[in-house]
Amino acid sequence: MSSSPTRITARGAKKRPAFSCSNCYSRKVKCDRVKPCRACCLRGIPTKCEFSRAAEDRGYIQQAEYIDHLEERCHDLRRQLAAAKSARPTKSRVVQKLTDSDQIHTAVVVAAKHKQPKRPPDASQSLSQSLPQSPSPEDVILDHFASRLIDECCPLSKRETGTKLFILSDAYRMKSTSPLLAAAFGAASLVFVAQQHQDKRLEIVGYEHYGRAMKLMRQEMRDQSSIEVFVANFLFVLKEVFSGDHEALARHIFGAMQLLKVRTAQQHKAGVGQAIFMDMRIFWVSGAIVLRRRLFLAEPEWLTVPWDNRPKDILHCLLDRAIGVSSYLANLDKHLSSKKDFSNPDDHGDDNDNHNHDGDDDDDDDDDDDDDDGGDDVADPVHSLTFRTQAIRLDASLLEWKEKHADFYPYGYCYESPTVLDDTFPLFQCRDPKTQTIFTPPLLHYPDLLLPTALCTYWAVRLSLSKTGYTLTAEERYVFACNICRSLQFYLDKTPRCFIYRILYPIILASETFPAGSLERTFIAEVCRFLDRRYHIGIFFTLISKITGSADLRSMVGHE
């Protein structure tokens, strides 16, 4: 008798038709049956979203039709929300009470302590577990913190912060099915709120979430091409932006680059993978220039494949040209290193202590010597001409970008203005190159954040290239560095906190251009202290002190 139900079940079992797309069916995830479905779009493979014949007979929904349905539904919901606003408060009472730091900390800790441990379900609990469960107080609080994080990171127009909004919104939706993303989002949100309220106890809770997330990350690293791992690493970068740990931030940024290389360009044509690639590309390119390293992003597929379905903005058009500078500097350093080894064959032991083959510059003794990276050091006339020609060609390409894109930016242009946006911001003064008199130049204002980001990066890249001695005069270098300083007040006054690191590379190059102890370099130090007071992080001052002091940046990012 006891075995008969088993035989009946086995005999009566039928193979159910597959109505999900082939990818969702094989991965055993929920498919919304929209072509391309959301799961495939999130993983950056919309072109591989295919349905079986059974699903086509049943009738899946095309994406355009689905969007129309969603728009109609949105209109209905807006009408219902407007009618219900007068009867319901805008925020839940739980969230309304979380206005003070002590209440936030207490609520999170108490909710975590009283959270019931998971136990194997028995038959008597099956019915209750099948019913919808109301969210725990901890989940309500973390959801509120996550909303505050998204609002803080993406307060501007879609053109300026839309990419990061897309990433965070999709990561927020993905965390419901990914323990790794849930822990990573919790860590980033808690550290963000803790920094806002300067609450060390709440920050400790955030680091507990971070520890769990890192443990899950190590488990998931068996599949380095996983989109969950890539998104979680992005959230770790965001967490370090708020915590101010510059070494951890650098490691996560370069770790994301290694994951990017494993994932290949084809996986970044759409979805959240493409959005993260676009958001972090500026850090990878500028970091490669500072480190004087070749970068795989210079390969043709990385310059074309991720943009198959969308045009590039002015910043990414600039990065396409700037990425060649890092390869050029790496080749120049390799040539100089081999020339030194050839000229001193008996002193390899000493040379290995003082020169590495990645092209470190020995400018510890004189920060003001800008021509020590090339120029006169390339004694071979043939190689000297080759490197000079390449440098001039790269510099001309950068100038062409400015004349083609920045000077004809459709949303406005850069202009001088005496208007001071923040009275507490340090005052920038400089010298007239001809008379050497000190004066206060007008500030540079912009129509949005994208243009100053692109122009400051443009000036910084040309300054990096000019260190070879082949491009730009000393006066031109000084003007470019001053332009960066004149743009800082506008940029730092308008930008959200998570975008301030985009200006770090230009600040570093401006600081290197000015003489040590000068009025201009003192201004940059004051700006770093200003950021420390405003955001309670000393990362700018620490990094600039290390880099301009000729510290080995490679040790900070784990390079040998």
Residues of the chain within CATH 4.10.240 domain(s) are 17-78
Go through 384-399 and write b for each residue having 16 or more CB atoms within 10 A of its CB, e for each that does not: beebbebbeebbeebe
- Report which of residues 326 and 222 the model is more confident about: 326
Burial class (CB in 10 A: 0-12, 13-18, 19+), 348: exposed
Give the per-residue pLDDT at 50.
84
Work out the angle at residue 317's Cα, subtended by the Cα atoms of residues 311 and 321, and round it to the nearest 5 degrees. Answer: 145
Q: Are 171 and 234 in contact (CB under 8 A)?
A: yes
| Amino acid code (one letter) for 150 | I
**Alpha-carbon distance 498 to 238, whole Å?**
7
Flag the least confident range among 123-132, 205-214, 340-349, 472-481: 123-132
Helix 474-494 and helix 504-513: axis angle, to 10°? 150
Give the per-residue pLDDT at 160.
67
Assign a CATH topology to domain 17-78: CD2-Gal4 (4.10.240)
Rounded mean pLDDT, 59-70? 62
Give the per-residue pLDDT at 191.
87
Q: How confident is the model at residue 532 (pLDDT cuts 50, 70, 90)?
A: confident
Which sign, positive or negative, has the C-alpha torsion 68, 73, 76, 79? negative
Q: Are 241 and 547 in contact (CB under 8 A)?
A: no
**Alpha-carbon distance 307 to 107, whole Å?**
45
Distances 243 to 2, 60, 104, 419 between C-alpha atoms, Å: 61, 46, 18, 32
Is the model's pLDDT at 89 over the cut of 60? no
**Alpha-carbon distance 507 to 504, whole Å?**
5
Say which residues have a Cβ less than 8 Å from residue 124's Cβ, sequence separation at least 6: none
Give the per-residue pLDDT at 244.
73
Distances 531 to 144, 413, 525 between C-alpha atoms, Å: 27, 26, 10
Highest mean pLDDT among 21-25, 43-47, 220-224, 458-462: 458-462
- Report which of residues 398 and 383 the model is more confident about: 398
Flag the least confident range among 142-146, 335-339, 380-384, 547-551: 547-551
Name the percent of the chain lying above pLDDT 90: 31
Q: How confident is the model at residue 135 (pLDDT cuts 50, 70, 90)?
A: low
Give the per-residue pLDDT at 313.
92
Give the per-residue pLDDT at 308.
81
Q: Are 230 and 276 in contact (CB under 8 A)?
A: yes
The SS3 call for residue 40 is: helix
Query: Could you identify the residue written with the tokens 């008969």?
Result: 4
| Token pair in block for residue 296 | 């795989």
Give the per-residue pLDDT at 224.
84
Q: Are 464 and 398 in contact (CB under 8 A)?
A: no
Q: How confident is the model at residue 167 (pLDDT cuts 50, 70, 90)?
A: confident
Is the model's pLDDT at 178 over the cut of 60? yes
Give the per-residue pLDDT at 353.
45
Rounded mean pLDDT, 257-285? 90
Query: Could you identify the residue written with the tokens 């001193």?
Result: 344
Is the model's pLDDT at 351 over the cut of 70? no
Count Cβ atoms below 10 Å from residue 334 Cβ, excluding itself.
Answer: 15
Give the per-residue pLDDT at 340.
67
Say which residues have a Cβ less than 8 Å from residue 519's Cβ, sequence separation at least 6: 429, 430, 431, 438
Give the per-residue pLDDT at 372.
44
Rounded mean pLDDT, 367-394? 63
Q: How confident is the model at residue 20 (pLDDT cuts 50, 70, 90)?
A: confident
Phi, psi of 372 (to 5 degrees): -90, 0
Q: How confident is the model at residue 24 (pLDDT cuts 50, 70, 90)?
A: confident
- Report which of residues 87 and 527 the model is more confident about: 527
Give the per-residue pLDDT at 392.
94
Highest mean pLDDT among 12-16, 158-162, 373-377, 502-506: 502-506
Q: Are 175 and 183 in contact (CB under 8 A)?
A: no
Q: How confident is the model at residue 362 (pLDDT cuts 50, 70, 90)?
A: very low
Count Cβ atoms below 10 Å from residue 118 Cβ, excluding itself.
Answer: 6
Q: pLDDT averaged over the chain?
A: 77
| Amino acid code (one letter) for 370 | D
Task: Give 45-78 as a DSSP string.
Answer: -GGG--B-HHHHHH-PEEHHHHHHHHHHHHHHHH
Rounded mean pLDDT, 518-525? 92
Give the per-residue pLDDT at 465.
95
The SS3 call for residue 315 is: helix
Phi, psi of 520 (to 5 degrees): -70, -40
Flag the least confident range among 66-80, 108-122, 452-466: 108-122
Distances 143 to 92, 108, 115, 182, 314 between C-alpha atoms, Å: 12, 12, 16, 10, 35
Give the per-residue pLDDT at 18.
63
Give the per-residue pLDDT at 32.
80
Give the per-residue pLDDT at 131.
41
